Amino acid sequence: MDRAWQKLPLLLRSSILAIAISFSGALVWVALSRANRRAMPDVPWAAPVMLGIIALSWRYLDGWGPPRSTMAWRRQSFRARWPARASTLWTILAILSVVAGAQSIIFLSLRLGNFEPDVFAPDLGLRTASPMLVYSSLVMTSLVAAFFEEAGFRGYMQGPLEKRYGPPLAIVATSILFYAIHLFQGWTHGDAITMTSVALSLFVPSVFIGGLALVSESIVPCMAAHTIVDIVSLPFERQIVPGLNLTPVWISGIDRHFLVCCAFLAVAVAGMAVSFTRIRRGRGVLVRAGRGV
């Protein structure tokens, strides 16, 4: 089995691992959250249980547990290390810039498609649930997506592809697959214009996060950025927070909302350019110091 697996092309192997890791966490969380809504819905017990599963998954993907033959490979692929202390401030700026850029792209893309007003209102059983269950579910959904998707896509997929094919192709290939796995959601379907806007809202943020993983050589900042983006987006998507603007810009014209999002995007891109550059320079200094240069 191992030989057959190793004979598969690297792109196929890394894609299978990314999908498997990503969906494994999502499916477990869906099962737990549904069970929570049926049993003791006033007590949000599913969230702490899932948090424990994330902790165990982190340890396993980071090299803990059997088989021993894959320990080093798992740790190397997971690459869940916080960047050097010298780059902490720049890493925080990079995370905030990625969040601002991703969120701006998402809001802008929603103004470019033809979305129905209730397209982001799936019946997940949360409308009649207790507030504690609703908010714990939103936070945990964000954490689950951030952890398992970043572990699979920016860790086990993008990392090996960077070494084999170079960073640009690795980030693009990872982002294409990241976009593709979200196509099962109802809001991702529609006419050609809507599908293009959906691709924009998923592909470009993935490129931003992929760039963060590249310069930091770690998926921990990516997890932080992904979590914040989802925590901001999910309340709008679940229509818990009203005010999501879905009016196509060619109908409303260039309004204040659109201009504000464009301004945030411009500032975010500038922030990414500066912080990414400083993080890479900091890494270079540390490498030279380690070699005695």
Q: What is the pLDDT of residue 283?
A: 67
Q: Please report where in the chains the tokens 């592809």 appear, as a residue.
A: 161
Q: What is the pLDDT of residue 75?
A: 93
Convert the pLDDT of each residue in 152-192 to its tens digit. 999 999 999 999 999 999 999 999 999 999 988 777 888 88
Query: What's the rounded Cα separation, in Å, for the pair 78 and 160?
Result: 10
Q: Which residue range forms the structural domain that includes residue 204?
A: 2-290
Q: Is residue 164 within 8 Å of residue 12, measured between CB atoms?
A: no
Query: What's the rounded Cα separation, in Å, for the pair 50 and 55?
Result: 9
Task: Please name the residues in contact with 213: beta carbons below 8 A apart, sequence gap of 6 or more.
Answer: 79, 150, 154, 155, 158, 159, 219, 221, 222
Total residues found in the chain within this entry: 293
Q: Please report where in the chains the tokens 């498997």 appear, as a residue.
A: 20
Q: What is the pLDDT of residue 37?
A: 87
Convert the pLDDT of each residue in 23-58 to its tens digit. 999 999 999 999 998 888 888 999 999 999 999 999
Query: What's the rounded Cα separation, in Å, for the pair 268 and 81?
Result: 24
Q: Is residue 19 within 8 Å of residue 181, measured between CB atoms?
A: yes
Q: How many domains does the chain have?
A: 1
Entry pTM: 0.91
Q: What is the pLDDT of residue 269?
A: 97
